[in-house]
Amino acid sequence: MCSELDLETAEAKFAIVSEKGTSIAEAAIVESFCHAVTKTGMIRVSASADSFRVKLEHPDFGRPEEEEEQVYDPMHREISQGSLKKLHYPEAESGMRTVSEMTENGSLRKFQFFWFTQKVDAAFSYGIVVGKTEDRESTEVFYRIVTSEDGDDWLQDAIDALRSELGDGYEKCRIAHRAWWTAYWKKSRIRVPDPMFEKQWYLTNYLFASCSRKGEYPMPLQGVWTADDGKLPPWKGDYHNDLNTHLSYTHFYKANHLEEGESFLDFLWAQKDAAKQFAEKFYQTKGICLPGVMTIDGKPLGGWPMYSLSPTHQIWLCQSFDLYYRYTGDRTFLRERA
């Protein structure tokens, strides 16, 4: 199997090969991208659906009744907090549905949908929904990651959205996707003598656009990864404000990717009340200060006190607001936020 990633269009492609006698034959071409606008994952396989199987697996989070007492052992500290089973979530719920509709040429086309939903607590659930359809030449598999924060009927809304996109098809959907990336890459470019450093700059900006969008949460410590081979992410995958998270958001000013970088500033601004509470309760003073090791809603998460509770990181966070004004000249932002 050989694979490639086109940074310019943010599309992946790989060929699956099989051995036939003494020769090697190409069995199928798999193409894939995550839509830059709709956020739907899209896969096209140049093979009929009966020649392969699409399987959706949910992580094993353990069970609530299996919860055991946690004992801290300073002599056996690891950067990962252990297995995902330690989360002890309720069992995931799965479902499947097939829908048929007539096409413009009078033929019958089938859409198969399957999903799982995972309840995290009384207020929050998430899920992955997959839709599949095929024609004579290929099979298309689209998927969406959704949460209960997406609306009252979030599961059905995801199925409806996938059905619409599958109806449009892979080729039509990637027109808007490619247009977004074309506009993104036009905002900045570099040329340096060392090709390795130049390639790294473009790779970094590709990853940045893939992980950070206006109106969404900014990248935490491990970017989009919240699990690693059945284990919890290193250092809990939280927001480390002691430069770790901050350094992921230092280049976007000069790279002219302001809208994607605003994800970080908007997130910090939304934590003002939590920052006031932390300053008052921990430091017993007025003002704002976010913890060095922070949850998604601005609460302290603990850790080595030298960095998890130090106030110095707050200067770096505040500098982000200063840099945004200096690069944009936005006086409204200066007056109301910075």
- 3-class secondary structure per residue, 225-294: CCCECCECCEHHHCEECCCHHHHCCCCCCCCCCHHHHHHHHHHHHHCHHHHHHHHHHHCCCCCCCCCCEE
Residue 303 pLDDT grade (very low, low, confident, very high; cuts 50, 70, 90): confident
Nearest to 153 by CA among 129, 169, 132, 133: 129
pLDDT higher than 90, residue 25 = no
pLDDT per residue as tens digits for the range 35-53: 999 999 999 999 887 788 8
Residue 70 pLDDT grade (very low, low, confident, very high; cuts 50, 70, 90): low
Q: Over the range 220-230, which residues count as b (16 or more CB within 10 Å of their CB) and which as e?
A: bbbeeeeeeee
- Tell me, what's the pLDDT at 73? 63
332 neighbors 277 (Cβ within 8 angstroms): no
* Calpha distance 133→109 (Å, rounded): 8
- Tell me, what's the pLDDT at 236? 79
> If you average pLDDT over residues 3-26, what whole number do you get?
78
Q: Does domain 190-336 have CATH number 3.90.79.10?
A: no
pLDDT higher than 60, residue 167 = yes
Residue 168 pLDDT grade (very low, low, confident, very high; cuts 50, 70, 90): very high
Mean pLDDT check: name the lowest of 75-79, 116-120, 197-201, 258-262.
75-79
* Calpha distance 239→185 (Å, rounded): 28
pLDDT per residue as tens digits for the range 238-276: 999 988 888 889 999 999 999 999 999 999 999 999 999
Write down the domain spans for the chain: 47-180, 190-336
- How many other CB atoms sit within 10 Å of the CB of residue 62? 17
> If you average pLDDT over residues 30-35, what whole number do you get?
97
Sign of the torsion angle spanned by Cα atoms 226, 228, 230, 235: negative
- Tell me, what's the pLDDT at 310? 86
- What secondary structure letter does DSSP report for 217? P
Sign of the torsion angle spanned by Cα atoms 302, 273, 263, 259: negative
Q: Over the range 252-270, which residues count as b (16 or more CB within 10 Å of their CB) and which as e?
A: bbebebbebbbbbbebbee
pLDDT higher than 90, residue 221 = no
- Tell me, what's the pLDDT at 76? 62
Amino acid at 317: L
- Tell me, what's the pLDDT at 237? 83
Amino acid at 103: T
Token pair, residue 122, equals 């009384």
- Tell me, what's the pLDDT at 87? 86
* Calpha distance 266→262 (Å, rounded): 6
271 neighbors 291 (Cβ within 8 angstroms): no
